[in-house]
Structure 1
Amino acid sequence: MSASTSTNTRPIPIPRPSASVVIVNGRNEVLLVHRNPKARAFGGVHVFPGGNLDKKQDASLPVTAIRETFEESGLLLASSTEQSASYLPSDTELDEARHAIHQQKMLFQDFLTSHNLEADVQSLLPFTQWITPPYAPRRFHTQFYVAFLPEVAPTGFSSGEKQERIPKPDGGQEVVEARFVHPRKALAECQQGKITFMPPQYYILSTLVDILQGDVNTLEQRSRVETLSRGLFGRMVINPRPLHAGNTEGYTILTYEGDETRGGSKGRLHRALVKAEKGGITSEITLQRNFDVFSEIEPQALKEPSKL
């Protein structure tokens, strides 16, 4: 993410609707996919599975999140439509289908219907929206979700590590691997410079790490995440904006809704210190949030942006 502003000659791109899902397994590990370093957008970055809304494939943003997760990792969040059904697609059938869907040779819904499956859209908990700043050359309006594997019956990849190398229609590679990792380990790897996150992923992991304590997912932990999803936090639309604040030693200060500079009360910090490399890829992030996300979110944090 670059801190430079757009020029007057370049029109501001309209954000593309997209969706991403944070999948939590029974060991409190989250699914991360590693984007190809040569990818056009977010090359080399670790992200949650997700992508752009495809009107040919997706009836809704939750379906987008589920389809993209299937394409990128092989994990299928779907349930049988028949109570007595015992048949599930084999690993070979899953791999063939996800490649065909990714290459637009098969409709995701047709694949589900042919196996008496339906996407588990009800399992997805809204968990903030993020809009790429106006100065970025490619912009997205992304709805993030959280889903817990103990609450659904996943088919396919659901733990450990997996090499993916998904082919694009042009023969390129989009995702080079997928793995489940605990938020605390993922954040530690980021701080050590081993992996890279963009601000939304870092923000969401920093929120979840305080809840997903230990290596066994509990009902109480799921309940706390659901509380956030149903409350003001889950409805936040976050529009990062750079704060021009003198010498910041190479860091950009990105402010979020509800910061003291964005309508929040005096002393309220809702921002991140970000250092970016060439191409806008984040190399260092520090989240500054001095309020409780369960009880201290101010209403102005929910204001819809006047400009996208």
Structure 2
Amino acid sequence: MNTVPGLTPPGRPAQPYDPEAVPVREAATVALIRDARVGGGVEVFLQHRVPTMQFAAGMSVFPGGGVEPRDYGGGRQWRGPEPRWWADRFGINDERAAAAVRGVARELFEETGVLLAEPAQPGTDVASGPPDPSVPPGHDERRALDAGRGDLDQLLSRHGLVLSAHLLRPWDRWTTPVGPPRRYDTLFFVAALPEGAEADAVTSEARAAEWVRADDAAHAGTLGHLSMLRPTLHVVSDLATAADVDEVLRWQRTITPGGN
């Protein structure tokens, strides 16, 4: 039996825990990409996490996080493939697929300010009062969402928007192996940066964020100059072989259910 380092209050003996009993949480993350400014290829948006995080502390990661109960509560339709399409590709059920698509879009907005959304068709339901598509969601709404107040569907409805799920692509699926005190079954997506959007680093989870050429990131990760978990390095290494964003979006991925 092992003890959990760093998770025991001072003055108390470390409590034994069973690695096999650690729950596997649902998570979703997205590699946000754009065409490289010079020389072809693609750039990927990487966040460099603060060293105090309980998971992947100090690592270079993609935006994302846990899929939450509020992501399951949404019901508005989106633009793009239906939940069954996503479920088939990730090897999960429709309900989880829908929650993951909403959850990864929510996390992307919370952590980078990039909102995968577009104007709804006339007659689309709204949360309260007439929507104003000319006014995009503001920083206060972003902070509220990050603090757990409301959900993505409510935010989009207030502004007369719908989720642009068609901008996402299913990419990979990895499960944390037995051993760590936190485990995740993570669905990896890829999305092209929408025209006119800008990604920022306004999140408490990262000390910095930047656009990096995928081939440079893969090289730095392989040499240990950037600290990456194996799945992150695997994804950037795949992206490093692409000539441009269009090529990435055309790829047909075969995803292994349950992880690699």
Given the two structures, how large is their TM-score scaled by the length of structure 2? 0.71
- 1:25 aligns to 2:34 (yes or no): yes
CA contact (8 A) 2:19 2:180 kept: no
- 1:146 aligns to 2:183 (yes or no): no
What is the deviation of 1:163?
3.7
Rounded to whole Å, the distance in 2 between the matches of 1:12 and 1:208 is 35
Rounded to whole Å, the distance in 2 between the matches of 1:222 and 1:9 is 42
The aligned residue for residue 130 of structure 1 is: 174
Rounded to whole Å, the distance in 1 between the matches of 2:191 and 2:146 is 22
Unaligned residue ranges in structure 2 (runs of 5+): 1-15, 37-41, 75-98, 123-131
- 1:87 aligns to 2:134 (yes or no): yes
The aligned residue for residue 237 of structure 1 is: 257
CA contact (8 A) 1:131 1:237 kept: no
If asked which structure has higher relative contact order (CA below 8 Å, sep 6+), I would say 2
The aligned residue for residue 60 of structure 2 is: 46
Rounded to whole Å, the distance in 1 between the matches of 2:174 and 2:159 is 34
Q: Could you report, residue by residue, the CA deviation over 1:5-38 in whole angstroms, capped at 9, with x for unpaired residues?
A: xx98454212111111111113321111121111
Aligned equivalent of 1:174, options 184, 192, 205: 205
Aligned equivalent of 2:249, options 219, 222, 246: 222
Aligned equivalent of 2:101, options 32, 38, 62: 62
Unaligned residue ranges in structure 1 (runs of 5+): 1-6, 167-172, 240-255, 257-308
Aligned equivalent of 2:235, options 188, 201, 204: 204
CA gap 1:189/1:220 in 2 versus in 1, 3 angstroms: closer
CA contact (8 A) 1:12 1:135 kept: no
What is the deviation of 1:133?
0.5
Rounded to whole Å, the distance in 2 between the matches of 1:20 and 1:140 is 11
The aligned residue for residue 155 of structure 2 is: 111
CA contact (8 A) 1:73 1:178 kept: no
What is the deviation of 1:82?
4.0
Higher helix share: 2
CA gap 1:220/1:12 in 2 versus in 1, 3 angstroms: same
What is the deviation of 1:74?
1.1
Rounded to whole Å, the distance in 2 between the matches of 1:17 and 1:147 is 20
Q: How many residue pairs get matched?
A: 206
Over 6 Å off, 4+ runs: none
CA contact (8 A) 1:128 1:238 kept: no
Given the two structures, how large is their TM-score scaled by the length of structure 1? 0.60
Secondary structure of residue in 1 paired with 2:208: strand
Q: Could you report, residue by residue, the CA deviation over 1:37-75 in whole angstroms, capped at 9, with x for unpaired residues?
A: 111111111111111111124441011111101111111
Where in structure 2 are the equivalents of 1:184-203 lying within 5 Å? 184-203=215-234
Percent of matched pairs sharing the same residue: 25
What is the deviation of 1:178?
2.4
Rounded to whole Å, the distance in 1 between the matches of 2:18 and 2:33 is 44
Aligned equivalent of 2:198, options 157, 179, 184: 157
Q: How large is the Cα RMSD of the aligned pairs?
A: 2.4
